A and B are shown apart, each in its own frame.
Chain A
Amino acid sequence: MDPDAVAKAFVEHYYRTFDSNRPALVSLYQDGSMLTFEGQKFLGPAAIAGKLGSLPFAQCQHDIATVDCQPSGPQGGMLVFVSGSLRTGPEEHPLKFSQMFQLLPAGGSFYVQNDMFRLNYGGVSLTNTDLNDGAYDGYTGDIWSFDLSILEFYMGRFPFGENLGKQGD
């Protein structure tokens, strides 16, 4: 079995399942499986599926840019390292991410023993249209709305109050 082919097949299956039938991901993990998602740690299929099911977007689309793999040791495991982007809606900015898996063989197939996910992004920037005499800076505005998407990803809701006035107060 060609390890590259196995890795590629796994990655396609994983993200297709994530994007179209997220609850079904639970079957890819076993009791000792671990997920670290943006620094938060989860153990076991129920906790992992609970986290993935509670992410603050109903729909998403992963686009995979790179897949690297290496055999991980005498048990026949495989390390898979993915980078790509993630879109949480047709109007949303794509978020870049990296993710690593260790797959271990079981019953003729593989399960995910280790899973770590991180968004890749630069710093948060702030805009203040008072500095521009009220003129809208489209470039800065794009960075701002992208950063808001990231905050929303973390927080599960729009980051600021519901009743914002024009000046954001």
Chain B
Amino acid sequence: MDGQGKDEEGSNGAGGGSDQLDVVATAFVEYYYHTFDTNRAALAALYGHGSMLSFEGDRVAGADEIGRKLAGLPFEQCRHVVCTVDCQPTPSFPGGILVFVSGNLQLAGEEHQLRFSQMFQLVPIEQGSFYVQNDIFRLNYG
């Protein structure tokens, strides 16, 4: 199995652009989970008026509701360890990025880590930063 994913027809096509996207996506993911794990209240600032979160099937909309949902999750301390980050450009917003993450979630006091997957649609705002337009989170039970 070739490791580079660059087939004869339709090789990744985005070239250097796709590496840039990877850099941006990885930086966002690191910031997001670091904020989640150390200062969860600050996450609300990443969402906008029209943002949506689905957390284990519960849907909420808008930065305020999303902030409340995240603050109200039934654990105090947690640590996310990211295993994979994949990203692609999205035509839904100019400069928008879809980010697909998998990793482990360690809850304080729990012996076993939980496995999770999460996807984001990021939309650029000024000065190279992004807000989260869409966020879907699922635990992956083994």
**A and B pair up:** yes
A residues with CB within 8 A of B: 32, 34, 36, 39-44, 46-48, 50-51, 56, 66, 68, 70-75, 77, 79, 81, 83, 96, 98, 100, 102, 104, 113-114, 116, 118, 120, 122, 154-156
Given A96-B140, A114-B88, A47 and B7 touching (CB < 8 A)?
yes
Q: How far is the CA of A90 from the CA of B76 in the complex (A)?
A: 43
Q: How far is the CA of A72 from the CA of B91 in the complex (A)?
A: 10
Task: Please tell me if the beta carbons of A72 and B88 are within 8 angstroms of each other in the complex.
Answer: no
Task: Please tell me if the beta carbons of B90 and A83 are within 8 angstroms of each other in the complex.
Answer: no
B residues with CB within 8 A of A: 1, 3-7, 9-14, 18, 52, 54, 57, 59, 84, 86-93, 96, 98, 100, 102, 115, 117, 119, 121, 133-134, 136, 138, 140, 142
Contacts of B4 in A (CB 8 A): 40
Contacts of B117 in A (CB 8 A): 81, 83, 98, 118, 120
Contacts of B12 in A (CB 8 A): 41-43
- List the count of A-B residue pairs having beta carbons below 8 Å apart: 120
B6, B9, B92: which contacts A102 (Cβ < 8 A)? B92
Contacts of A68 in B (CB 8 A): 54, 57, 136, 138
Task: Please tell me if the beta carbons of A79 and B13 are within 8 angstroms of each other in the complex.
Answer: no
A32, A43, A71, A75: which contacts B11 (Cβ < 8 A)? A43
Q: How far is the CA of A155 from the CA of B2 in the complex (A)?
A: 9
Q: How far is the CA of A75 from the CA of B121 in the complex (A)?
A: 14
Contacts of B3 in A (CB 8 A): 40
Task: Please tell me if the beta carbons of A42 and B136 are within 8 angstroms of each other in the complex.
Answer: no
Top 4 A-B pairs, shortest CB-CB distance: A40-B5, A47-B10, A73-B92, A44-B10
Q: Which residue of the partner chain B has the closest CB to A41?
A: B12
Task: Please tell me if the beta carbons of B115 and A47 are within 8 angstroms of each other in the complex.
Answer: no
Given contacts A42-B5, A83-B117, A118-B100, 4 further A-B contacts (CB under 8 A): A46-B9, A66-B57, A104-B91, A118-B86
